[in-house]
Amino acid sequence: MFKPNFLSLLCLSLSTPLIASEYTNLPNVPPGVFEVSTRTEISTTLSAAWHTLIDFPNYAAWNPFVRTSIVTSANNITLPDQRPAEGKYLFMRVQIPPLPLPVNEKTLDNPAHTQFAYERIAHVQPELGRLAWVYLPEDALTAQRWQAVSDIGNGTVLYEAREVFSGPLAALLQAAMEKGLQESFDGQGEGLKLWLEGGAK
Ligand SMILES: *[C@@H]1O[C@H](CO)[C@@H](O)[C@H](O)[C@H]1NC(C)=O
Ligand SMILES: *[C@@H]1O[C@H](CO)[C@@H](O)[C@H](O)[C@H]1NC(C)=O
């Protein structure tokens, strides 16, 4: 009797690192019709992860989901400064589902999986390691995408992304694209990890 109890207590205490997987740096947002999300732990520095995420001109080198992300004005004019800033806009060319990894700047799109999106940059919070943009137009379908990086110790950075979809068209989008979107979110996390841990170089 004593031994099994002791063992299960031991197992409980060994499993405490699992608590780390419940930590999140994503803000609470109201639930929508559906959401897709991903999280992955990367051996890197917070600074390297953050700078990779805001370096849009280099996305094609590692990102199997977002192949182009161009910072624009409200009327889609490419801005000279390509750093994300609140109130600026994004034109994106994406792959849903994602390209197979690894990718580089020469990897060709799968034309059947290519989509375009226009977004407004809602939050750029370097001190919190958070970025957010919202899908345009904002009437029939709204989508808010947050990404976050955080230092979880021992040279490990947690990358998280979540997009919440709502509005009258969200259920249609869910039926058509939830699986592909989920794969694309996971793909971006895996691509970021591969790039930052040196596997893609
Ligand atoms: C927005 O800009 C991108 C990149 O310059 C371009 O490919 C796209 O066709 C533009 N969209 C519209 C509606 O003009
Ligand atoms: C960090 O690594 C050390 C040595 O490997 C270990 O003892 C410690 O528990 C780790 N801390 C975390 C937060 O993982």
Q: How far apart are CA 144 and CA 150, in angstroms?
A: 20
Residue percentage of the chain with pLDDT more than 70: 88
Is pLDDT of 5 > 90?
no
CA-based nearest residue to 158, from 115, 120, 192, 114: 192
Dihedral over Cα of 124, 174, 176, 139: its sign? negative
> How many CB atoms are closer than 10 A to CB 135?
19
Please identify, by atom number, the ligand 2 atom nearest to the C-alpha of residue 153. Answer: 13
**What domains sit in the chain, N to C, each tagged with a CATH number?**
27-196 (3.30.530.20)
Q: Is the pLDDT of residue 15 over 80?
A: no
Distance 77 CA to ligand 1 centre (A): 8
Average pLDDT over residues 86-97: 97
Distance 155 CA to ligand 2 centre (A): 10
Assess whether pLDDT exceeds 60 at residue 20.
Answer: no
Q: Is the CB of 73 under 6 A from ligand 1?
A: no
**For residues 157-178, average pLDDT:** 96
Contact assessment for residue 67 and residue 109, using Cβ atoms and an 8 Å cutoff: yes
pLDDT at 199: 59
| CB of 78 sitting under 6 A from ligand 1 | yes
Cβ of 76 below 6 Å from ligand 1: yes
Contacts of 168 (CB under 8 A, 6+ apart): 140, 141
**Is residue 155 a contact partner of residue 23, using CB atoms and an 8 Å limit?**
no
**8 Å CB contact between 63 and 184:** no
Is residue 169 helix, strand or coil? coil
Token pair listed for 71: 């910072």
Q: Which of 59, 76, 79, 136 to mutate to test the pocket of ligand 1 (most atoms within 8 A of CB)?
A: 76
| Top mutation candidate among 43, 150, 151, 154 for ligand 2, by most atoms within 8 Å of CB | 154
For the chain, give the mean pLDDT: 91
Distance 68 CA to ligand 1 centre (A): 11
User: What is the rounded CA–CA span in Å between residue 188 and residue 65?
Assistant: 6
Determine the pLDDT at residue 139: 82
